[in-house]
Structure 1
């Protein structure tokens, strides 16, 4: 998810001011005649709620949250998902618990392969084939994309001794295998872009 793909999604969006009373605002952004990719920005003192096709997120930091998310440069859509996620009070999750993060299987695979590389560096080459086969059969072939807890369990169950070396995924639990969800990143871009569109609309009205 990047700014370019977001801008394609909102290329025909129009802004509708539903309410504007100081920091009490309700601004809707949508494509004409469709609810696809629509979103609302709703503010009240100390809070901002983003809700729409990509979910619902509530943030809190300063009295006017438009000031918090408003960009300070003329170009681009700068976002800070790490910092902003710390200000997120609530995430919709339907029947499941909501989160701005999701399991990153590619990152998990990369990390356990780092362990394999480290093991092989400590072993004579004559043992490499044996270790690779055990790694593949006992770990890689049993992993499932999306099953974070199951994959942790499979990795932590693996243990073998080769030429006096204990091969285990030591301290794997200390590593992070999370990434921001596509929906949350889309929301971050929408916050900056939407507020910028609102500011431009307000400037036009003031100049009229």
Structure 2
């Protein structure tokens, strides 16, 4: 599943409204939902150092600064930083195996292997041919595969048949991408803060 775009997200929440359940300094509890349905509704709760988002599109807990709204509040627009924010996730699934990412990493190993060869040398030319054939066959055979089958093929990789191209340290290579729900919730957090800030700016002082 591809990642949601900002345009898609805004369409999902076009009729959502903000309800402030609690607002005491950095202790907050807000709900963003369509009044006519609970579809794609979500709730955000903050306390010192933590922000929790729960709802139809997933549940995540982030930990970073005292006021987490300040941490997530964009300087402009709907800027999100899923990679950096993911480092602050205490609970919730933010990534999943992706065959295209995994096979791209295999292709990257091939590129690095070929760069170390001297293609003016007949022996190295043969190694490059074997490596290219092995990777082409590997990618063709794993396209559309799931995580288990992919790693089974990695573990069966024969460097001798691939011109000496080794994948023993491939476990360090990228094989995942951010989940659809995680990206959606990143947009949802920013959207909620924008609604909250607009609500606060319209409050009449006591």
Deviation of 1:161 after TM superposition, in Å, equals 3.8
Work out whether residues 103 and 179 of structure 1, in 8 Å CA contact, stay in contact via their aligned partners in 2. Answer: yes
Deviation of 1:46 after TM superposition, in Å, equals 2.1
Q: Find the counterpart in structure 1 of residue 155 from structure 2.
A: 156
> Which runs of 5 or more structure 2 residues have no equivalent in the other structure?
none
Does the C-alpha gap of structure 1 residues 82 and 140 become closer, same or farther in structure 2, counting only changes over 3 Å? closer
Aligned mates of 1:104, 1:142 — CA distance in 2: 15
Q: Deviations over 1:166-201 (max 9, x none)?
A: 244353222111211111111111111111111101
SS at match of 1:154: helix
Single out whichever of 33-42 and 14-23 deviates more from structure 2: 14-23
Single out whichever of 23-32 and 105-114 deviates more from structure 2: 105-114
RMSD, aligned CA: 2.9
Deviation of 1:61 after TM superposition, in Å, equals 1.4
Aligned mates of 1:69, 1:150 — CA distance in 2: 38
Does the C-alpha gap of structure 1 residues 146 and 85 become closer, same or farther in structure 2, counting only changes over 3 Å? farther
Q: What does 1:98-137 align with in structure 2 at a 5 Å threshold?
A: 99-115=93-109, 122-124=124-126, 128=129
Aligned mates of 1:24, 1:160 — CA distance in 2: 57
Scaled by the length of structure 2, what TM-score is found? 0.80
Scaled by the length of structure 1, what TM-score is found? 0.79
Greater relative contact order: 1 or 2 (C-alpha under 8 angstroms, separation 6 or more)? Answer: 2
Q: Deviations over 1:66-89 (max 9, x none)?
A: 12111222xx20111112112111
| Number of residues of Structure 1 aligned to a counterpart in Structure 2 | 195
Deviation of 1:135 after TM superposition, in Å, equals 5.1
Q: Does 1:70 align with 2:73?
A: yes
> Which runs of 5 or more structure 1 residues have no equivalent in the other structure?
92-98
Q: What does 1:86-97 align with in structure 2 at a 5 Å threshold?
A: 86-91=87-92
**Greater share of residues in strand:** 1
